[in-house]
Amino acid sequence: MSLKNETVNVKEWKFDANGLIPVVAQDYESGEVLLLAYMNEDAVKKTFETGYAHYYSRSKKAVAKYGETLGNTQKLMVAFLDRDSDTLLLKVKQTGKADAESGNFTCFPKQIKGEYKDIGGEMLGRLQRIVGEYKKNPEDGAYTSFLFARGVDRIAKKVGEEAVEFVIASKNAEKEGVVSEAADLLYHTMVLLSAKGVKLSEVCSELCKRNR
């Protein structure tokens, strides 16, 4: 689903004194926060009319399509307005890097609190992206690249093996074994999904259908 050609009524939106509203862009697939930017009414209009994010540059004082000079895009999938109608959240399918100058996928690469393991469910989305990068650019000695090279049959066999080990671990009292085997199962499942060209968003969409 995209929001192309959909119109929005901004009359009750609370733009600031400069006619701007802050916008948080989040990757639709991984859940990672990509950037914080601003829109004026013109940028909002162009975003919803074209289906691609347009932002207002406070330094250039102009509206531009995201990443147009570098060939990047942010295809709008879902949009949310906060309860005070003064902040916008966009979930987008991003092409390229949000921080193109440094080569980072997101403009928030510096984790300054907590540990990498503390990011929660977002890790599945990150894992999908990392696995996809190994698929596109194989690396010698990398286990993920090795699995892709062996093909779908080998990956599917590993998923089956890990599923059995997960079930066995769940019969024991220790929680640690369940966590470890679940991680192995999810990782190999992510590799198999990638090998079959299936995105997490497609699986989540199916789950949403069943939850109606």
**How far apart are the C-alpha atoms of 85 and 180, rounded to whole Å?**
43
Q: Are residues 84 and 149 in the same domain?
A: no
Q: What is the CATH number of the domain that holds 39?
A: 3.10.20.810
Handedness of CA 103, 63, 84, 30 (dihedral sign): negative
Q: Are residues 78 and 124 in the same domain?
A: no
Q: Is residue 108 part of a domain?
A: no
Pairing of strands 21-27, 33-39: antiparallel
Determine the longest span between alpha carbons in the chain, in angstroms.
62
Q: What is the pLDDT of residue 89?
A: 97
Q: Are residues 134 and 203 in the same domain?
A: yes
Q: Is residue 136 part of a domain?
A: yes
Q: What is the pLDDT of residue 3?
A: 52
Q: Are residues 85 and 128 in the same domain?
A: no
Domain count, the chain: 2
Q: Are residues 76 and 138 in the same domain?
A: no
Length of the chain: 212
CB atoms within 10 A of CB 135: 16
CB atoms within 10 A of CB 47: 27
CB atoms within 10 A of CB 130: 16
Q: Is residue 55 part of a domain?
A: yes
Query: Bridge partners of 9?
Result: none
Q: Is residue 34 part of a domain?
A: yes
**How far apart are the C-alpha atoms of 212 and 207, rounded to whole Å?**
9
Residue 193 tokens, joined = 């999904």
Tens-of-pLDDT digits for all 212 residues of the chain?
A: 345 545 678 998 999 999 999 999 999 988 889 999 999 999 999 999 999 999 999 999 999 999 887 778 999 999 999 999 999 999 999 887 767 667 788 888 888 898 877 788 889 988 999 999 999 999 999 999 999 999 999 999 999 999 999 999 999 999 999 999 999 999 999 999 999 999 998 998 898 888 76
Q: What is the CATH number of the domain that holds 174?
A: 1.10.287.1080
- The answer to pTM > 0.85 is no
The domain in which residue 173 lies consists of: 119-210
